[in-house]
Amino acid sequence: MKIYMMTDLEGPAMISTFDQTRDVTPEEKQRSEYFLTGEINACVDGILDFDADAEVVVIDGHGSGGIDEMLFHKQAKLVAGRGFTPPYCLDESYDAVMFVGQHAKMGDRGVLCHTQSSKTIEYYKINGIELGEFGTFALAAGSMGIPTIFVSGDDVTIEEARDLIPNIEGAIVKWALGRELAMHLSHEAACDLIREGARSACERMDEIEPYFFEGPYTEEIRVQEGCSIQGFLNLGCEAVDNRTVRLHADNVLDLRV
């Protein structure tokens, strides 16, 4: 069995503020990397509880890096560095996708909610469906026939995931009380929950369908007020107005996901 694990730094228990995820506060970010890495390792353990010979490839999906390499699980592989482009090393060789440390899409009430950029993006829509980072990547995986079977994060993130994949295995490690306010499980309790959920997801893999809908596709991206769309125009998108662009494609992997 081969599992692809996408990770991010906003979703683990004990992380509530953007300052904890950014390099401008190195000590805070180092603690956050400890929390995320522990949850990743717990997820790896859950996979190995099901299949001791599983290959687990972990993607550091946080822009400035979110994983403490010194603590990283000895039986997993890590993809980290600069130059990531969609679909972020995912290919048809994987049996399933899992998310650890995920956050909700922008404006969706979740802790540290955002879509791609917390500072510039208002929304991403594909064929009129608003999707966050979870949804866009689950769709990309689904285009390859790969199911997304597990997600951990706050309660809003799990709700968002289940709106798209009703029987996905989810681990709620904190509850949103505001964009930078949450009620958390302890790190140890969160790791226990994630390990159990990852094992259960592997057991139920055949029951969980890939998230996918047929193209052709129109992706609409809207930036926040005061932000420029020029970067998207340089990538071949067309302007709708001064804050909105569109991109058309027959294959979802050709979109900006």
CATH code, 155? 3.40.50.10780
Domains of the chain: total = 1
* Cβ-proximal residues to 81 (8 Å cutoff; 6+ apart), any chain: none
Is the CB of residue 60 less than 8 Å from the CB of residue 83?
Answer: no
pLDDT tens over the chain, length 257 residues? 999 999 999 999 999 999 999 988 889 999 999 999 999 999 999 999 999 999 999 999 998 899 999 999 999 999 988 887 888 899 999 999 999 999 999 987 999 999 999 999 999 999 999 999 999 999 999 999 999 999 999 999 999 999 999 999 999 999 999 999 999 999 999 999 999 999 999 999 999 999 999 999 999 999 999 999 999 999 899 999 999 999 999 999 999 76
* C-alpha triplet 177, 182, 185: angle, nearest 5°: 135
Residue 226 forms part of a structural domain: no
In angstroms, rounded to a whole number, what is the distance separating the alpha carbons of residues 9 and 225?
25
Q: Within 13 Å of residue 223, how many CA atoms lie on the same side as its CB?
A: 19
Residue 90 forms part of a structural domain: yes
Residue 241 forms part of a structural domain: no
Q: How many CB atoms lie within 10 A of CB 73?
A: 19
Residue 252 forms part of a structural domain: no
Q: Within 13 Å of residue 150, how many CA atoms lie on the same side as its CB?
A: 34
Q: 57 has which bridge partners?
A: 4, 77
Domain span holding position 137 = 2-215
Q: What are phi and psi of 28, to 5 degrees?
A: -65, -45
| pLDDT attached to residue 149 | 98
In angstroms, rounded to a whole number, what is the distance separating the alpha carbons of residues 188 and 241?
48
